[in-house]
Structure formats: C-alpha cells, structure tokens
Amino acid sequence: MRVCLASTSPARLMLLRQAGIEPLTQSPDVDEDAVAAAAAAERGADLAPAELVLLLARAKAADVAHKLAAEGLFDGIVIGGDSMFALGGRVYGKPYTPEEATRRWHEMRGATGILHSGHSVFRLSPGDAPVEATATAEAAVTFADDITDAEIAAYVASGEPLLVAGAFTVDSLGGAFITRVDGDPSTVVGMSLSTVRRLAAELDVAWTDLWS
C-alpha cells in the first residue's frame, strides 16, 4: 500500500523511513497563517495549540489528498502533520531569526514545555471518496538547567533551531540539552508514529502493510 507524506519536512520523512516506510512526498499548497487567522476570526479568539495544530494538519493533508484523489490513481494513505511548542502560556512556532532563537533558549533553560502535534490521515482508494481520521498528541519536554550562554550561542549559530517548531530538536544537535521527554518521543521529532498507526487502523489499514 502506498503512503504519501503531505510535507517536505526532513524530520517527518526520516521518521517514516526509520519506521520502515518509504513515502512519496508532496508539498501542500496551504497558507498556514491565513488558515489560522480565518479560524481565529470566526471564533473571535485564537485557537488553543492542540486545536490549531490539528486544523493545520487537516488542511495540509486534505490539500494533497484531494489532488491525488482527483487523479484517480492513488491507492493508500496520505499523512499530514503540524507541530507547535507551548511554554509558560505562550505558543512558539519557528523562530526564524538568531535573536528570537536565542531569546527562547534563555527562557527554556531549566523549564518544561509541551510539544503539540496534530495528525490527519486520509485513506484514498480509486473510485471512492477520501476518508479521514484525525488526532492530536502531546509530549512534555524538559530542558537542562545548566545550559551555558556559550552553548546557546553555539547552538543558535549552527542554524539548526531557526526553522523548527520551538527552536529545538531532540534527534540532532539539540538533543544533548534535553533531559526528559514524557510522551511518545517521535512526537517531538515531528510526528507521533504511534498516533499515525492508530489512525491508519481506524481506516482499516494495517501498519505493517505500509512497510516498504
């Protein structure tokens, strides 16, 4: 059975490959800021992190799924995901700039935050309408309290934290600064594999059938 990852995230691609799945990848055509702004305007308030990551995951998966469905040839599942990090009542996406990444790391030092991850899985079969299953997952991440300013500066200078949710990774250079993860560790990498497996099962797809 085929798998399409509705993302060009290297971390999500790596996770699936490590789990024995070699997916197609397709970048969704979704303006995430516009989707979030429209949802907030409709409600009259910002969405909670768990709601927002699920909304964005669904938007990305749906965009790719409906394009593939229109072609009428794809038989398999489409996976979409989104992640955000919450600390001290604030929600953090990608920092983009060294200054913002540095500021966040000074705040995260010795603290615990929650990584929220939204998941959307569509089952596509030629001739049938797409069927979706969704879920969120959370993992608590605790950072070392003895991280030095020099270590923060060196990590930021590496460029790694600039384009990842929360300004950190657990599976690369940032992993040495994390002392504890409570929850599915793959959630922190970018996608909860156990959650995706459960969603696939809801769509009558056996996880082992997805192995390459």
**Range(s) of the domain holding residue 183:** 2-210
Q: What is the pLDDT of residue 13?
A: 96
Active site residue 82: yes
Give me the pLDDT at residue 66, please: 96
CATH code at 12?
3.90.950.10
- Three-state SS for the chain is CEEEECCCCHHHHHHHHHCCCCCEECCCCCCHHHHHHHHHHHHCCCCCHHHHHHHHHHHHHHHHHHHHHHHCCCCEEEEEEEEEEEECCEEECCCCCHHHHHHHHHHHCCCEEEEEEEEEEEEECCCCCCEEEEEEEEEEEEECCCCCHHHHHHHHHCCHHHHCHHHCCCCCHHHHHEEEEECCHHHHHCCCHHHHHHHHHHCCCCHHHHCC
Task: Exactly one of 31, 75, 82, 146 is catalytic; name it.
Answer: 82
Q: Judge whether residue 89 has pLDDT over 90.
A: no
When the pLDDT of each residue in the chain is averaged and rounded to a whole number, the result is 96
pLDDT at 92: 87
pLDDT at 196: 98
Task: Report the domain count for the chain.
Answer: 1
Percent of the chain with pLDDT over 90: 92
- Mean pLDDT of the region 39-68: 96
Tens of pLDDT, residue by residue over 131-190, are 999 999 999 999 999 999 999 999 999 999 999 989 999 999 999 999 999 999 999 998
